[in-house]
Amino acid sequence: MSKRFDFDLLVIGSGISGLTSAITAAENGLRVALISKEHDLQECNTYYAQGGIIARSHEDTPDLLKEDILTAGDGMNYIEAVNLIAEAGPGLVEDFLINKIGVRFSLDETGEIDRTMEAAHSVRRIFHVKDTTGESIEKSLVSYALKTKGIELFTSHIVIDLITNTHNSLDSQQRYKWTKVIGAYIYNEQSNNVDIFFSSCVIIATGGVGNLFLHTSNPRGATGDGIAMAYRIGTEINNAEYIQFHPTILFHRDVDRFLISESLRGEGATLKNKSGEYFMEKYSPELKDLAPRDEVSRAIFREMEITGSHFVFLDTRFMKDIDVKERFPGIYKKCWDAGIDISRESIPVVPAAHYFCGGIKVNLHGATSIPGLYAIGEASCTGIHGANRLASTSLLEGLLFGKRVGDAVPRQITKIPETLKKSIPDWIFPEPEEEFDPILINQDLLNIQTTMWNYAGIIRNRKRLVRALADLNYLSHRIEKFYKQAKITRNIIELRNSVLTATIIVRASYANKISRGCHFIE
């Protein structure tokens, strides 16, 4: 039997956007359930963000920031959303993160907050905490959330599906009403049960999709869960073809998914190919190594093809006046442990899937096309990023929209009628339950990852995308059948979400014949 819970608000995901919305909503008087599929609340994409967050800078203006965001986004951005972040975003870093939450950003030698540089920025405007900005922000937000009255935490809880009146109710009259989200079926990994969480407002803050690709900077949990669960209830998804590949992930036999922050190039590090040639001038004569990410990633990809190599190098010798060990301690240590001394040696790097510029379509208040459902952070598509995201805008977008939605939802809370709640059935477990075979699940996931990497990756063409669709269709049938018969586990829930989100990405990529930003089609 499912346990039944009632909350004013469900927040699914515990990165910067989820925590900001939960804190704000709770301080606005709501009873909030904060759901994380991880055992450790801190385990999310935000934690691994190295570079930083755009904030106020003396040499900056909203117009300049707007221009940089639009240039990186290749003109595909939603202008109103860009205006909003350029005007309201930077100040929020001070008001919310520094003054309220207590994040301590790195200082320069004069005692002012240090501002670093990344690709496609025209001024130094990025606040950072050495090279572990995300970790510091996440830790501060988690400790603040733990002290906030009104937030109840549910870790190791994995959302299976959102509940709507029209799809889930056993009352036939509900199908004639408009669809509205009223909660979620959530698998509790500890009790092995599936519980029902009722709430008239649900916020999806589940992060990105990097784990659908063979090579990624994202943690393993980035399986596109929010996109899939929203899509299954008919929510509009936007810009799903725009997957950003980060140019520089460490290439090393024993180290997986480790980002080499763009701020190294911001401080002067330079890319060179296997033959020692500095190649970026050839591809972007003006911006060179600080060209937008999509251009740098494609340039690296081409150079790897030309030289027949699996990686290129990042030469750190040009980083003037920088003590790498002090400024980039996380990267220094990781590389040192892998046998590379970055103060003397070049770093082998490759591009990898990094950020989902598309997502669940939302308005300027984070509301989706389905009443009661909101999306924020990487899972959402506000239109700020257009066809390609400007570095260090993602933490800011998560913060801004987390705050806006946390402020907006109190006005949207309604009472779910008891009769409607009673008409929602308990979770039905299959009988008999098929035992979970990890080899089958791992192989299916690997199939999805290689399909996405090879056919829907940095350089796409229509033939590859057709093949990807066929392969994903076949996998979808098999996975859906298995999901219906198998004992429920986190792996199966994620696999089901992965194959659906991958299919959404490939369909959007096939439908868009125009190369723009990070969707490049031959």
Active-site residue numbers?
293
Distance CA 21, CA 354 (A): 23
> Nearest-CA neighbor of 509 among 213, 232, 243, 227?
243
Among 36, 218, 297, 392, binds ligand SIN (CB under 6 A): 392
Residue 434's beta-bridge partner residues? 486
Helix (H) or strand (E) holding 154: strand 151-154
Pick 183 or 383: Cβ nearer ligand SIN: 383
217: Cα separation from own chain's centroid: 11
From residue 261 to residue 300, the character string flagging contacts with ligand SIN as x (rule: CB under 6 A) and all else as - is xxx-------------------------------------
Task: Return the amino acid letter for 129.
Answer: V
- Other CB atoms within 10 A of residue 91 CB: 12
Q: Which residues pair with 198 in a beta bridge?
A: 6, 183
Instruction: Please state the separation of Cα 428 from the chain's center in Å.
Output: 31
- Smallest distance, ligand SIN to C-beta of residue 148, A: 27
Which is closer to ligand SIN, CB of 106 or CB of 261? 261
User: By C-beta, is 255 or 440 nearer to ligand SIN?
Assistant: 255
Q: How far is CA 467 from CA 62, 222, 470, in A?
A: 44, 24, 5
Query: Based on CB atoms, which residue is closest to ligand SIN, 168 or 261?
Result: 261
Residues in contact with ligand SIN, shown as a per-residue x/- string from 39 to 68 under the rule CB under 6 A: ----------xxx-----------------
Stretch in the footprint of ligand SIN (CB under 6 A) among 202-210, 345-353, 388-396, 438-446: 388-396
Is residue 378 involved in binding ligand SIN (CB under 6 A)?
Answer: no
Contact of 372 with 202, CB cutoff 8 Å: yes
User: Residue type at 305?
Assistant: E
Residue whose beta carbon is closest to ligand SIN: 51
Label residues 386-404 b or e (16+ Cβ within 10 Å = b): bbbbbbbbbbbbbbbbbbb
Interaction with ligand SIN in 394-453: which residues (CB under 6 A)?
A: 394
Instruction: Looking at residues 336 to 355 of the shown chain, list those that interact with ligand SIN (rule: CB under 6 A).
Output: none
Q: How far is the CB of 377 from ligand SIN (least distance, A)?
A: 13
Our CA angle for 82, 84, 88, nearest 5°, is 130
Which tokens in the block code for residue 503? 């299919």
> Of 15-23, 84-92, 254-262, 460-468, which part binds ligand SIN (CB under 6 A)?
254-262
Cβ-based nearer residue to ligand SIN, 97 or 441: 97
What tokens appear for 188 in the block? 């509790």
Decide whether 139 or 467 has the Cβ nearer to ligand SIN: 139
**Alpha carbon 51 to chain centroid distance?**
15
Binding site for ligand SIN (CB under 6 A): 49-51, 259, 261-263, 391-392, 394
